[in-house]
Amino acid sequence: MSVLVGKVAPFFSTAAVINGHEIVSGFSLEQFRGNKYVVLFFYPKDFTFVCPTELHAFQEKLAEFESRDAVVLGVSTDTEQCHWAWLQVPKNQGGIQGVTYPLLADSNKTISSAYDVLNGEYGVDDDGNLSATSEMIAYRGLFLIDKEGQVRHQLVNDLPLGRSVDEALRILDALRFFETAGEVCPANWSSGKSGMKADFAGVADYLSKH
């Protein structure tokens, strides 16, 4: 598993469904550089069980992300047409109707590969036939990308394990606090709590004496 933290987020341009119904092409991160944080999350499949709970949970908190200058983007290895169809199905029937943030299509699996969240690998068997070690869908990856396009946080869950949207908000708050206050965030920090000054000179002095 690659660690992308501290690196520029991998570029992509792909089809997406925006506003719950509109299919667009050429959707990329570049449109947000310089003015928005990006919460980019991957999920395994449309028309499944755990995935809609996550997509609805992000929708329920969408206004909170937006109030922090952040956009939420969902990605799976399904096509844009599959995303669109699922968006038309009511929530009480297992659908994601009401989700308004962009859902990106990664049907050629290049985005999942670039972010190293693809479950499985391609190979060639003993007879020379192309094979795959698994279903080749995305793990539940989440990446927080700052306004300069740099990855500042990543989390990858196995397929059965749903994520905490509140934790994604907490990490976004922590990044914004660090950027504005210049203080680091200790364990279990949350918005409204005090940070810590990173006194590297004091640490160096202490180490030189012990």
- The predicted pLDDT at position 202 comes to 46
Q: Name residue, tokens 């397929």.
A: 159
Instruction: Return the higher-pLDDT residue of 200 and 107.
Output: 107
Q: What is the pLDDT of residues 127-150, one digit of tens each?
A: 888 878 888 999 999 999 999 999
Q: Name residue, tokens 């449309």.
A: 46
Burial-class residue 147 by CB neighbours within 10 Å (0-12, 13-18, 19+). Answer: middle
Residue 199 has pLDDT above 80, yes or no: no
Q: Name residue, tokens 């504005």.
A: 180
- The predicted pLDDT at position 206 comes to 37
In which band, very low, low, confident or very high, does the pLDDT at 210 lie, cut at 50, 70 and 90? very low
- The predicted pLDDT at position 125 comes to 82
Q: What is the pLDDT of residues 14-33, one digit of tens each?
A: 999 999 999 999 999 999 99
Q: Which of 58, 72, 55 is nearest to 165 (CA)?
A: 58
Check 51, 70, 174, 175 and give the catalytic one.
Answer: 51
This prediction's pTM: 0.90
Mean of the per-residue pLDDT values for the chain? Answer: 92
Alpha carbon distances (Å) from 160 to 112, 122, 199, 209: 18, 22, 41, 50
Q: What is the pLDDT of residues 153-177, one digit of tens each?
A: 999 999 999 999 999 999 999 999 9
H or E element that contains 130: strand 130-132
Rounded mean pLDDT of 180-205?
Answer: 79
Q: Please report, for the chain, the start and end positions of each structural domain, with discontinuous segments joined by +.
A: 13-163
Q: Name residue, tokens 């933290």.
A: 5
- The predicted pLDDT at position 66 comes to 98
Q: Which amino acid is at 123?
A: G
DSSP for residue 19: T
Give the Cβ contact number of residue 108 at 10 Å: 11
Lowest mean pLDDT: which of 4-13, 59-68, 125-134, 181-190?
125-134
Burial 36-46 (b: 16+ CB within 10 A, else e): bbbbbbbbbbb
In which band, very low, low, confident or very high, does the pLDDT at 95 lie, cut at 50, 70 and 90? very high
Alpha helices in 76-187 (DSSP H): 80-87, 110-114, 165-181
- The predicted pLDDT at position 128 comes to 86
Domain 13-163: top CATH class: alpha beta
Q: Which amino acid is at 23?
A: I
Establish whether 51 is a catalytic residue. yes
Residue 77 has pLDDT above 60, yes or no: yes
User: Is the Cβ–Cβ distance between 95 and 88 less than 8 Å?
Assistant: yes
DSSP for residue 39: E
Please report, rounded to a whole number, the percentage of residues in the chain having pLDDT higher than 90.
Answer: 80
Please report, rounded to a whole number, the percentage of residues in the chain having pLDDT higher than 70.
Answer: 94
